[in-house]
Amino acid sequence: MKCARAWISKIRPGKYAPIHQDIDDNIEEYLSQGEVIRFSTFISHPYPGGVFVCKNQCFHCELSGNTYQWDHYLDYHAGGNCGLHDQFMFHFLGIK
C-alpha cells in the first residue's frame, strides 16, 4: 500500500466533529494510481467519553492500536469527546 495521505486528529474534552466526509483536493490524482483505501487507528488509551462514529457503528473505549479499514474512504463519520482527556486517532489514506 502506498501512502497518499496520513494525519492525526485530535478532539479536546467538550468538543466534537459533526457528521462529515473528509474531502481531499488531490483525490483524482490518488484514484488515477489505483484503489483508494482508508484505515483509522485509535491512539489514545481507552477512557469513558471518547467516541468515534463511522456510518452506523459507534466506537467507545477502544484499545490503543485498534485499527479498522473503512468500507469506503468517503464514509460519513463523526467524533465527540465528553471525557476528561484529549482523543487522538491516526488516519491513513492509501493507494492499493
Which CATH code is given to the segment(s) 2-95?
Answer: 2.60.120.10
DSSP string across 46-66: P-TTEEEEETTEEEESPPTT-
pLDDT at 29: 96
pLDDT one-digit tens code per residue, 28-67: 999 999 999 999 999 999 999 999 999 999 999 999 999 9
Residue with cell 452506523: 56
Averaged over 6-30, what is the pLDDT? 96
Averaged over 19-25, what is the pLDDT? 95
Across the chain, mean pLDDT equals: 96
pLDDT at 25: 94
